[in-house]
Amino acid sequence: MKADESKHTTIVIGDGAAIPRKKDRGLLNAWWISLGIAVFFIIFLPVYQPDPYWDALLFISDGIFVTFQVTVFSILGALVLGLITGLGRLSKNRVFSLIASTYVEIVRGIPLIVQLVYFYYALAKFLHLQGMVAAVMAMSICYGAYMGEVFRAGIDSIDKGQKEAARSLGFNGRQTMALVILPQAWRTILPPVGNEFIALLKDSSLISVVAIADIFRRGREFVAVDFTAFETYTMVALVYLIFTLILSKIVSIMEQRLSHYVD
């Protein structure tokens, strides 16, 4: 059954925070309310009761840089792997396409926490990986598989006439992809990529299982000493909430600017 292209609707569901957009006033207002609540409590609680809220916030603060370091390096690795995988899935080379498709099927079928443990405890026996390197590799490979499907769908959504027009102007295959297809596909790719970025930031809390002192692990360490689980994890949750809200807004701004530029 052929879909009516004039009424085509794209449904995007991801693990990241919802992206606030001007056309969705309810969600945009909810974003401001959520940010206001989070900022209020992360300021009010340490002032109202420094012990343990302020102590907990100070203790987990050095894990913030570690969390962002792992997130940024992982997303860069995932973008590279995702682009290669997406091109591989669309490649006419059957071997390249099969390798890319197999990579997607295997990696997406294994939970991220299992991949983290495997890289840190199993592969370390042969590769002597440090905790940070193992975490970045595992998260890059895991999210690269998801990014691959995003790139594949984005590239595949571009009208085939664009490729034919580029070829008629004398562009070869690589030039057509780099200068014509990918710039147009990026408008479609950006929202889900932004969602994956936010989801990766949240999933970075899993790296605590491989002894990396991120925000979540630092919170666990504070609880082990101070025995204030409710207060400590409240601060951890507020820090993650503020970061994800800020990232979702950055993605929204990038999307608006890109849309304005393309239009």
More confident residue, 188 or 45: 45
Instruction: For residue range 117-159, list pLDDT tens digits in order.
Output: 998 888 877 877 788 888 999 999 999 999 999 999 888 888 7
In a domain, residue 240? The reply is: yes
Please compute the mean of the pLDDT values over residues 251-259 and round it to a whole number. Answer: 76
Instruction: For residue range 202-243, list pLDDT tens digits in order.
Output: 999 899 888 888 999 999 999 999 899 999 999 999 999 999
How would you class 104 by CB atoms within 10 Å of its CB: exposed for 0-12, middle for 13-18, buried for 19 or more?
buried
More confident residue, 222 or 262: 222
Show the domain range for 88. 23-262
In a domain, residue 4? The reply is: no
In a domain, residue 11? The reply is: no
Residue 48, pLDDT above cutoff 80 = yes
- State in Å, rounded, how far the first CA of the chain is from the last one: 32
Check: CB of residue 47 under 8 Å from CB of residue 114. no
Give the whole-angstrom CA distance, residue 134 versus residue 132: 5
Task: Residue 221: give its domain's CATH number.
Answer: 1.10.3720.10
More confident residue, 1 or 12: 12
pLDDT at 247: 87
* Global pTM value: 0.82
More confident residue, 189 or 172: 189
Q: How many domains does the chain have?
A: 1
162-171 burial string, b = 16+ CB within 10 Å, else e? ebeebeeeeb
Residue 260, pLDDT above cutoff 80 = no
Mean pLDDT of the chain: 84
State which amino acid sits at residue 10: T
Please give the share of the chain, as a percent, with pLDDT higher than 70. 87
In a domain, residue 207? The reply is: yes
How would you class 95 by CB atoms within 10 Å of its CB: exposed for 0-12, middle for 13-18, buried for 19 or more?
exposed
